[in-house]
Amino acid sequence: MLKTILFISGKPGLYKLVSRGKNILIVESVIDKKRLPIYGSEKIISLGDIAMFTDDEDVPLGQVLSSVKKKENGAVVALDIKKASADELSAYMAEVLPDYDRDRVHVSDIKKLISWYNMLINAGLTDFEEEAEEENTAEE
């Protein structure tokens, strides 16, 4: 599922890939379900290609989102990212991913992680772990 969820630089929210054409993607907003064309000149990143830095090796975003889901019992994160201090956000991240790299994972990254998690949960997209297992099976 995370391979078809896209972050588009300069546009708010997350988008689900609907269709592909020559030099164009048709995407649908996860929040309000509006469809729009995205051209090849825009910076597009699949959530399936993102990983979080840790002290050992990078952890795929799907596993991190699954950890957040487990901690929150499948509900949205109650922590208000706009009002939370850097220490509160760092403490939250340490609960979710204890060995995250404190030098390379910035407060803005933690805010984005929580924001994306809340968007996906509100949209009913919750199969993070399933995707990670499929990817691991495909690699073997």
**pLDDT by residue for the chain (140 residues), tens digit each?**
788 999 999 888 999 999 998 889 999 999 999 999 998 889 999 999 999 999 989 999 999 999 999 999 888 998 898 999 999 999 999 999 999 999 999 999 999 999 999 999 998 888 886 544 444 444 44
List of residues 6+ apart from 77 with CB closer than 8 A: 68, 92, 114, 117, 118
SS3 content of the chain, % helix, strand, coil (to 5): 40, 20, 40
Distance between CA 44 and CA 129 in Å, rounded? 23
pLDDT the model gives residue 18: 95
| The pLDDT value given to residue 64 | 93
Same fold, 2-47 and 49-139: no
CB 61 within 8 A of CB 47: yes
The domain locations on the chain are: 2-47, 49-139
Residue 74, phi-psi category: left (phi > 0), alpha (psi -120 to 50), beta (remainder): left
Per-residue model confidence (pLDDT) at position 119: 93
Q: What is the pLDDT of residue 129?
A: 63
Q: Select the CATH number that applies to the domain covering 49-139 from these four: 3.40.640.10, 1.10.10.1650, 2.60.40.1120, 1.10.10.10.
A: 1.10.10.1650
Q: How many CB atoms lie within 10 A of CB 64?
A: 22
Which DSSP category does 48 fall into? G
CATH number of 2-47: 2.30.30.730
Instruction: Give the predicted TM-score (pTM) of the model.
Output: 0.85
* The predicted structure's pLDDT at residue 138: 43
